[in-house]
Structure 1
C-alpha cells in the first residue's frame, strides 16, 4: 500500500526567491564595501552577539527574517580585512570577479562533479595557474580548502614515496616502525608540523633547521643533519623549502635544496602558499630558480590572487604516486552508477574530470571557476603588476622607515612584507617591545591602518603584508606616519623620552 502524504511533507525552505534575496542584501553589502567610519564590529559586539545568540527555533521565522538580520546585524559588523588600510597577517577580501564567480558556482555548480562547465573549469584553472607560476604542465594539480590541506596532500605524497622505496605502502598498510623526518627551517609554517602529526610521522619528526640573517634555511646545517640522520638510518621523507615565509617573506634557496634532496634520496616540497606568486616579479624571480626540480608545490589563490577564502592548490610531479596516496576505494553507488562505454545524453552520464583520488575531498565546491574568473578578468599581466606593486609598497615603507630616526627596519623586504618598529635612543628592547605592542593596539583602535605583528630576532615587529588589491601608497605612507606619531605619544606618556 502506498502511503498518502499531506502538505506537511513539503520542505519549508525557500528555493525560488534567490534574485529577491540577493536584492535585499545588496544595499547592505554596498555600504559595507565602502568601509566608512570606524570599524563597529568590536565596539558593538555585545549588541550583535545578543541579537544572534538565540536558542534553536522550533519553528523557523522564514526567509524574510533571515534576510533582515543579515542586512541589519550581520553584514554591517562583518570583517573589514578588505579595507585599504588592512595589511595584517596574509589575508584579504575577495575582488568582484571572484565573488561573482563564487555565487555563480554556489548556485549553478554546487558540486564539482559531472559533465558541466564548473567541473571543466577545475582543469582549466589549474592549467592557467601552473602556466602563470611556471610549473611543469605534466604535474598533477588539485584544488584544496587552503594551504593547510594543500601542504598535507603534498607531504602525504612525500610519505608515500619515502616508504614505497623501502617496500612499504603506508596508505594501505600503515607506517612501519622506522624513524622518519621532514626537514624545514625554523621559519616553516606551523601547518607543516601539523601535517606531520596527521600523517602519523609525529610533530617531532619535523626538524627545525636554523636560518641565516635573511631568514633563509642554513644549507650547511641542513647538510650536516641529513648526513647524521643517514648514518642513523633515519628515513628522509621530505625537505621543505618555504617560498615566502609568513614572518618576513624570505625565500629558501630552492635549487641548492633540490641538489640535497637528490643526493639524499628525499622529496623536495615547496611551500609557496603566500609567496609563490612572488615569482611574477622579475626583480626577485631568480630566488625561485630550481622550482621546476621540486616534487611538489603549493600556492593559495585566496591570498595574493584575492579569491574568496577556501581556495588552495597543490601540484605534484608524480600523478600516479599522488593517486596511490589518496585514492578512494571504489563504491557501487559512485563508479557503479556510470557506464563509461555508454552514450552520454545527460550530464549525469559522466563524472567529468575527477579529483577525489588526489586530495582530501570527495564532495567539494567548484573552486576552479573562481580562480578562472579572476585570471580571466586581470590576466597574467594584471597579476604581475599586482605582485610588483605590492612588493614596491614594502620597499617604499622600508625607505620611509630608514629616513625616520624614530623608526627601525628589522627585516629588509624580500617580497611584500616589511618588518619594522618604533624606537628612541636610550630605550632598552624590553621597553621597546611594550611600546610597539601598544602602538599596534592603538593603530587598530584609532586609525584605518591594520598591520599585524611578529618577532624578528626576538624583537617585537610591526608587520604589514601587502596583498590587498585595494591598498594604495596613501595607506603605506599613512602607516609609517601613524607609527611615528603614536610611538612618540606613548613614549612621552611613559616618560621614556625625557631621559633620552
Structure 2
C-alpha cells in the first residue's frame, strides 16, 4: 500500500458503547461509506424490486424486539438488519411505480440537506442561535409567497411539520385577527360559536384541528362539492347565511388547491369574492397543488390564490424533498406575532430587524426543515422544477388516454397529475368491493401501488403521478397491471 493511500478500516475498528458517540475519522469514514453503499444500491435497484410486500406482523415485531439495548451491537449488523426491515416493511414511495398519496421520491440534494441539518443541528427557536438557518428559511418563505402572488417584501410565515400544522396556524391566526379577545380569554369570550367552512372533498385534518383548538368538530361545515368535485359556492353561500341567521359566527372559509382524493382546485376567485362579501377570512390549503406555482404554465390554474389571507404549502408533497416540509404563508407579520406572542427570561434577547421563530409559529425547538428545499431549489433552479412538474402533468395526461383506450372511465378532471378511474362494468359485486379488490390485486403483485377513492358517491381507483423517477414505461406498466387485475376479477 502506497504512502498516499488511506489505511483500510474494518468494522472491528468501530468503537462500541459510549465511544461510538463520536468515533475517530477512520471508523466514522467506514460507517459513512457503508451508508453510501446502501443508498447507492437502493437507488440503482429500486425499480426492479416490488413496490411493496406483505408484512408478517409477528416476524416484524420479533425482529425489532430482539434489540433489548442492554449491550452494544456492531454497527454493520445494525445497519444491515435495519435496511432489511425497511426494505421488506415499507411501501416504497421512492419507487417509480408508486402512484399513491403525495409522497414523491426525494431528490439527492434533499437527502444531503437532511444530513447537513442533522449534523449541524441548528436550534431554530431563536434567531441568535441559528441566524443562517433562520434567514435561509425566511428567504424560502418569501420566494414561495411571491410565486403565489403575494408582494415579496410583505411575505411572512414559517416552516411547519407538514400541511396539518400549517393549516392549524391559519386557524389560530384567523381567530386572533377576527376576535382580538380570543388570545387572552379564549372561545368563551366570543359573541357566538366560531364556524369554519371547507369542501367535503378537502383534507379532513380540519376536524382534528377543530378538536384541538376547542372549536369542536361540529364547528367545521363541510360544503358539498359539485359534479366537478370543486366546492359548490352556491351551497357555501346558503350555509353562511343560515348559520349567521341562527346566531353562529362564521370566521373562515378554506379553498383547497389540489384535493387529496381527486386533485380538484376549488373556484378560488369566487371564494375570495364571497369571503369579502361576508367579511370572513379566506385561507387556501394548497399543500399539494400550490407548488404548481413554480411553473408559469401550471400557475394559471391557481388564479385567485393571491387573494387569500393565508396559504398552506408543503414541499414534501410535490417538490420531492424528504418529510416534513410544510409552510404557512401570509402577509400578516403582526398577526403572527400576536398569535404566538410569548416572553420568557431564559430565551436570548431579540436582535433588531429579525424575528425569533418561536415568537411567530407554533413550534419552539425545531429542526432546520428548509435546508433540503433550499439545496434542491438552488441546484435544480425553478426552471428545473417547472420542467419536472409539467412532465408529471403530461405523464398523467398519457395515463388518462391509455386508461380510456382500455375501457376505463375517467371520473375526475384536474390540471394536476391525479387520475381517478373506474370500471364501468363492475359486475355483480358492489362497486366498492370490486375496485377495492382491483387495488389489492395490483398492490399484492408488487408491480405498482395505487389506492381506492370515493368521489361524489362513486367508487374508483386513484393514481397520482408524482415521482421524478416515473417514465412512460412505468405508465404502461400500470395500465397493464390494472387491465390484468380487471381481467382476473371478471373471470
Tell me if 1:397 matches 2:399. Answer: yes
Which residue, 208, 219, 233 being the options, matches 2:222? 208
Q: CA deviation at 1:75?
A: 5.3
* 8 Å Cα contact 1:143-1:314 kept in structure 2: yes
* 8 Å Cα contact 2:252-2:282 kept in structure 1: yes
The structure-2 alpha-carbon separation of the partners of 1:281 and 1:129, relative to structure 1 and needing over 3 Å to count, comes to closer
- Partner of 2:234, secondary structure, is helix
* 8 Å Cα contact 1:183-1:208 kept in structure 2: yes
For residues 286-331 of structure 1, give each alpha carbon's deviation from its aligned partner in whole angstroms, at most 9, with x where no partner exists.
432221111000110001001111110101221111111122x222
* 8 Å Cα contact 2:51-2:449 kept in structure 1: no
Q: TM-score, normalised by structure 2?
A: 0.88
* 8 Å Cα contact 1:126-1:368 kept in structure 2: no
Measure, in 2, the Cα distance between the counterparts of 1:104 and 1:355.
20
Query: What is residue 14 of structure 2 aligned with on the other side?
Result: none
* 8 Å Cα contact 2:252-2:283 kept in structure 1: yes
Of Structure 1 and Structure 2, the greater helix share is in: 2
Measure, in 2, the Cα distance between the counterparts of 1:284 and 1:95.
21
Measure, in 1, the Cα distance between the counterparts of 2:161 and 2:28.
26
Tell me if 1:231 matches 2:232. Answer: no
* 8 Å Cα contact 1:279-1:285 kept in structure 2: yes
Q: CA deviation at 1:356?
A: 1.4
Measure, in 2, the Cα distance between the counterparts of 1:220 and 1:189.
21
The structure-2 alpha-carbon separation of the partners of 1:339 and 1:45, relative to structure 1 and needing over 3 Å to count, comes to closer
Measure, in 1, the Cα distance between the counterparts of 2:228 and 2:140.
34
For residues 112-142 of structure 1, give each alpha carbon's deviation from its aligned partner in whole angstroms, at most 9, with x where no partner exists.
3424533331122222222333333212120
* 8 Å Cα contact 1:253-1:287 kept in structure 2: no
Query: What is residue 159 of structure 2 aligned with on the other side?
Result: 143
Query: What is residue 183 of structure 2 aligned with on the other side?
Result: 171
For residues 75-124 of structure 1, give each alpha carbon's deviation from its aligned partner in whole angstroms, at most 9, with x where no partner exists.
56544111000010111231101000110111014423424533331122
The structure-2 alpha-carbon separation of the partners of 1:369 and 1:353, relative to structure 1 and needing over 3 Å to count, comes to farther
Instruction: Give runs of aligned pairs for residues 379-398 of structure 1, distance below 5 A.
Output: 379-398=381-400
* 8 Å Cα contact 1:422-1:484 kept in structure 2: no
* 8 Å Cα contact 2:142-2:156 kept in structure 1: no
Q: Which moved more, 1:104-113 or 1:16-25?
A: 16-25
Measure, in 1, the Cα distance between the counterparts of 2:446 and 2:88.
19
Q: CA deviation at 1:222?
A: 1.0
Tell me if 1:481 matches 2:480. Answer: yes
Q: What is the RMSD computed on CA atoms of the aligned residues? A: 2.4
The structure-2 alpha-carbon separation of the partners of 1:109 and 1:128, relative to structure 1 and needing over 3 Å to count, comes to farther
* 8 Å Cα contact 1:28-1:72 kept in structure 2: no
The structure-2 alpha-carbon separation of the partners of 1:465 and 1:54, relative to structure 1 and needing over 3 Å to count, comes to same
Which residue, 8, 28, 38 being the options, matches 1:28? 38
* 8 Å Cα contact 1:171-1:326 kept in structure 2: no
Query: What is residue 3 of structure 1 aligned with on the other side?
Result: none
For residues 233-256 of structure 1, give each alpha carbon's deviation from its aligned partner in whole angstroms, at most 9, with x where no partner exists.
322220100011111111111111
Query: What is residue 111 of structure 1 aligned with on the other side?
Result: 123
* 8 Å Cα contact 1:147-1:312 kept in structure 2: yes
Tell me if 1:15 matches 2:22. Answer: yes
- Partner of 1:60, secondary structure, is coil
Q: TM-score, normalised by structure 1?
A: 0.86
Measure, in 2, the Cα distance between the counterparts of 1:278 and 1:408.
26
* 8 Å Cα contact 2:420-2:462 kept in structure 1: yes
The structure-2 alpha-carbon separation of the partners of 1:280 and 1:339, relative to structure 1 and needing over 3 Å to count, comes to closer
Query: What is residue 51 of structure 1 aligned with on the other side?
Result: 63
* 8 Å Cα contact 1:48-1:74 kept in structure 2: no
Q: Which moved more, 1:479-488 or 1:266-275?
A: 479-488
* 8 Å Cα contact 1:435-1:487 kept in structure 2: no
Measure, in 2, the Cα distance between the counterparts of 1:256 and 1:149.
26
The structure-2 alpha-carbon separation of the partners of 1:390 and 1:230, relative to structure 1 and needing over 3 Å to count, comes to same
Measure, in 1, the Cα distance between the counterparts of 2:230 and 2:64.
46
Q: CA deviation at 1:46?
A: 4.7
Measure, in 2, the Cα distance between the counterparts of 1:65 and 1:475.
35
- Partner of 1:189, secondary structure, is coil
The structure-2 alpha-carbon separation of the partners of 1:325 and 1:312, relative to structure 1 and needing over 3 Å to count, comes to same
* 8 Å Cα contact 1:416-1:466 kept in structure 2: yes
For residues 417-437 of structure 1, give each alpha carbon's deviation from its aligned partner in whole angstroms, at most 9, with x where no partner exists.
010023438x35x54432321
Mind listing any 5+ residue stretches in structure 2 that lack a counterpart?
Answer: 1-16
Measure, in 2, the Cα distance between the counterparts of 1:107 and 1:162.
42
Query: What is residue 268 of structure 1 aligned with on the other side?
Result: 282
* 8 Å Cα contact 2:229-2:455 kept in structure 1: no
Tell me if 1:457 matches 2:456. Answer: yes
Q: CA deviation at 1:192?
A: 1.6
- Partner of 1:450, secondary structure, is coil
* 8 Å Cα contact 2:51-2:448 kept in structure 1: no
Which residue, 313, 326, 347 being the options, matches 1:334? 347
Query: What is residue 130 of structure 1 aligned with on the other side?
Result: 145
* 8 Å Cα contact 1:398-1:413 kept in structure 2: no
Measure, in 2, the Cα distance between the counterparts of 1:203 and 1:43.
35
For residues 254-286 of structure 1, give each alpha carbon's deviation from its aligned partner in whole angstroms, at most 9, with x where no partner exists.
111111111111000000011112344555544
Measure, in 2, the Cα distance between the counterparts of 1:289 and 1:412.
17
The structure-2 alpha-carbon separation of the partners of 1:116 and 1:62, relative to structure 1 and needing over 3 Å to count, comes to farther
Query: What is residue 294 of structure 1 aligned with on the other side?
Result: 308
Query: What is residue 362 of structure 2 aligned with on the other side?
Result: 360
Query: What is residue 433 of structure 1 aligned with on the other side?
Result: 432
Q: CA deviation at 1:61?
A: 3.4
